[in-house]
Structure 1
Amino acid sequence: MPRFILVALLASTLAPAALASDGPDEKEPFFSVANDEDIGPYIVGPNGRAVYMFDTQTRGGDGLPPLESCGPRCREAWPPLVVAPVTTKNLSVSDGLDPNLAGSVTDGDKLVASYNGHPLFYFNREGESEGPSGHGIHTHGGWWIALAPNGNAIRTGTIPSETDY
């Protein structure tokens, strides 16, 4: 019995220190920048996957807000980047990104990461550190667009401009 107490006591004193030092938020920024030879620099999430805004307001869009437009079937292919618990200060950014543009928006009982006011989504067909293969896809009521480091949509190819209604 004394050996058990000693092991339990040792584990309880070491565990908080180990947990505090292993948190990913303390070592890696939440948002960082990757580069693609076709579209240039774009924003990636905490696991190196491209993040996308959902443009539902331009040509071919359904006119609904992105989180409203993307229903259950859409969210299977394009899951929102949910963060919890979160405050804006938790969404740290790497060099080249503006920390004032990083935030979150409410989606029901969840918080979804945002950048420059755009709720962000992943593309379920991309893995970690893969290029932005979801960029320029038109589906589920709008366009899926990668974001430039300044927070603006990267409008390439057939993606309509913001004034193209």
Structure 2
Amino acid sequence: MRASTTPALTAASAFAASAILGAPPQAAAQEAVTIAVAESDRYGSYLATAEGRPVYLFTTDTRGAADQEPRISCTSEACLAAWPLVTTQGAPQAGEGVDAALLGTMRAESGTVVTYAGWPLYTFARDAGADAPQGQDIESFGGEWYLLTPQGEEVHAE
């Protein structure tokens, strides 16, 4: 991916995101991230980090494919503070029920971003504890945010 098309996660936005999440800046990128499957009565099976944080796709991003690099459209400080990218220091790991062949990475100014089925992955700053996921089917920053199924598709509540 060309550097000119990647977002800039500034120190201020990293600090803001970490303050909201209650973690030190760059905490999300200390080790290789594991993507796991979580369950909800309302949403069924969806992807989350090994720590239980739901992960989301953003509909205005460009989904990567064999002939197209993924592209991140959530680039403003406000967007990245509300929807931090899932970054990793190594190859992302597939937890039980996750298709390792759908996991990938892309380079961005903020680091190595985890992708799934070609989608860059995000967490939601307001997701916490038993109330998560709170970011499902939200319209903000010019698009919609959805949980992902283990098959790499948008979750739609019945």
Match of 2:85 in 1: 80
* Residues 1:46 and 2:46 are matched in the alignment: no
Larger radius of gyration: 1
Q: Which structure shows the higher strand fraction?
A: 2
Match of 1:36 in 2: 40
Report the RMSD for the aligned CA atoms in angstroms.
Answer: 2.4
Match of 2:114 in 1: 113
The equivalences for 1:55-134 within 5 A come to 55-56=59-60, 67-84=72-89, 86=90, 90-108=91-109, 110-128=111-129, 130-134=131-135
Offset, 1:119: 0.4
Offset, 1:69: 3.6
Instruction: Provide the TM-score with structure 1 as the length reference.
Output: 0.65
Distance 1:117 1:124, change over 3 A: same
- 4+ long deviations beyond 6 Å: none
CA distance in 1, matches of 2:130, 2:88: 20
Offset, 1:109: 5.2
User: Could you tell me whether the CA contact under 8 Å between 1:101 and 1:151 is conserved in 2?
Assistant: yes
Q: Percent identity?
A: 29
Task: Show structure 2 runs of 5+ residues with no match.
Answer: 1-29, 62-69
Distance 1:40 1:109, change over 3 A: closer
Q: Which structure shows the higher helix fraction?
A: 1
Match of 2:27 in 1: none
What is the number of residues matched between the two proteins?
121
**Structure 2 letter corresponding to 1:44:** A
Offset, 1:24: 7.0
Offset, 1:132: 1.4
CA distance in 1, matches of 2:92, 2:79: 25
Instruction: Provide the TM-score with structure 2 as the length reference.
Output: 0.68
Offset, 1:110: 1.2
